[in-house]
A and B are shown apart, each in its own frame.
Chain A
Amino acid sequence: MQSQLESVIREVEKVIAGKRPVIEKILMALLAEGHVLLDDVPGVGKTTLAVALSRAVGLAFQRVQFTPDVLPSDLVGFSMYDKASGDFVYRPGALSRANLVLGDEINRAASKTQSALLEAMEERQLTVDGKTYPLEAPFIVIATENSVGTAGTQFLPYAQLDRFLVRLSLGYPDYEAQMSLLRERQTGNPLDTVARVMEKDELISLQWEARNVTVKDAILDYITRLALASRAHEAVEIGISPRGALFLSRMAKAMAFLEGRDYVNGADVQEVLRDVCAHRMLLKADVRQTTAEQVLEELLRKVENPDRRGLFPGMRKA
Chain B
Amino acid sequence: MRKRWIGCAVWLLLAACLYFFENNTGTRTVLAASLLVPLVPLLRRVFFAADAPAAEAERPLPLTIRTFARQETDEPGDVREYRPGDPIRRIHWKLSAKKDALLVRETAAEPEVVEEEQLSSAPADGQKVRHAGRAAGLLLGLMLLCAALLLLIPEARHGFQALCNRIFAASEARNAYAYTFFTVAENQRVWLAAALLTILFAALTALVLLLRSRVFLLGIMAGCTLFQAYFGLPFPAWVNIPLYGLLALGMLRRPVSRKSLLSVLGTALGTALLIVLLFPGVDAATESASETVRDQLSRMAQQAAGVVSELPEGETETRHVHTQSLQTGANEARTGREYRLVTVEEEQISQPHWIDWLKVSLLLLLTVALLSLPFAPFLLLNARKKKALEARKAFASEDVGEAVRAIFRHVVLWLSETGHDAGNLLYRDWPDVLPEELTEAYARRFARCAMDYEEAAYSEHALPEETRQRALELLQETETALWKAADWRQRLRIRYWMCLCE
A262 to B426, Cβ gap below 8 A? no
B459 to A305, Cβ gap below 8 A? no
A78 adjacent to chain B (CB < 8 Å): no
- Residues of chain A from 267 to 318 with CB closer than 8 A to chain B in the complex: 267, 270, 301-308, 311-312, 317-318
B424 to A304, Cβ gap below 8 A? yes
A216 to B458, Cβ gap below 8 A? yes
B45 adjacent to chain A (CB < 8 Å): no
Interface residues of A (CB under 8 A from B): 214, 216, 218-219, 261-267, 270, 301-308, 311-312, 317-318
Roughly how many angstroms separate A235 CA and B111 CA in the complex, as a whole number? 47
Partner of B416, one of A214, A262, A304, A317: A317
Binds A, one of B167-175, B341-349, B449-457: B449-457
B421 to A307, Cβ gap below 8 A? no
Partner of A214, one of B412, B429, B453, B460: B460
List A contacts of B428 (CB < 8 A). 265, 267
21 CB contacts below 8 A, A to B, read A214-B459, A214-B460, A216-B459, A218-B457, A219-B458, A262-B459, A263-B460, A264-B458, A265-B426, A265-B458, A266-B458, A267-B429, A303-B424, A304-B424, A305-B424, A305-B426, A306-B458, A308-B424, A312-B413, A317-B416, A318-B423
- Residues of chain B from 387 to 444 with CB closer than 8 A to chain A in the complex: 409, 412-413, 416, 421, 423-429
Roughly how many angstroms separate A125 CA and B111 CA in the complex, as a whole number? 78
Taking A265-B454, A306-B457, A311-B409 as known contacts, 19 extra A-B pairs with beta carbons closer than 8 A to each other, sorted by chain A number, are A214-B458, A214-B459, A214-B460, A216-B457, A216-B458, A216-B459, A218-B458, A219-B458, A261-B459, A263-B460, A265-B428, A265-B458, A266-B426, A267-B429, A267-B454, A303-B424, A305-B424, A306-B458, A317-B416
B459 to A307, Cβ gap below 8 A? no
B461 adjacent to chain A (CB < 8 Å): yes
With most chain A CB atoms within 10 A of its CB, the pick from B416, B426, B458, B461 is B458
Number of A-B residue pairs, CB cutoff 8 Å, is 56
List B contacts of A263 (CB < 8 A). 454-455, 458-460
With A311-B409, A311-B412, A317-B421 in contact, do A267 and B458 touch (Cβ < 8 Å)?
Answer: no
With CB as the reference atom, state the residue of chain A lying closest to B461: A262
Roughly how many angstroms separate A50 CA and B455 CA in the complex, as a whole number? 34
With CB as the reference atom, state the residue of chain B lying closest to A309: B424
List B contacts of A318 (CB < 8 A). 423-424
List B contacts of A264 (CB < 8 A). 458
Roughly how many angstroms separate A318 CA and B457 CA in the complex, as a whole number? 20
Roughly how many angstroms separate A304 CA and B454 CA in the complex, as a whole number? 16
Roughly how many angstroms separate A270 CA and B453 CA in the complex, as a whole number? 17
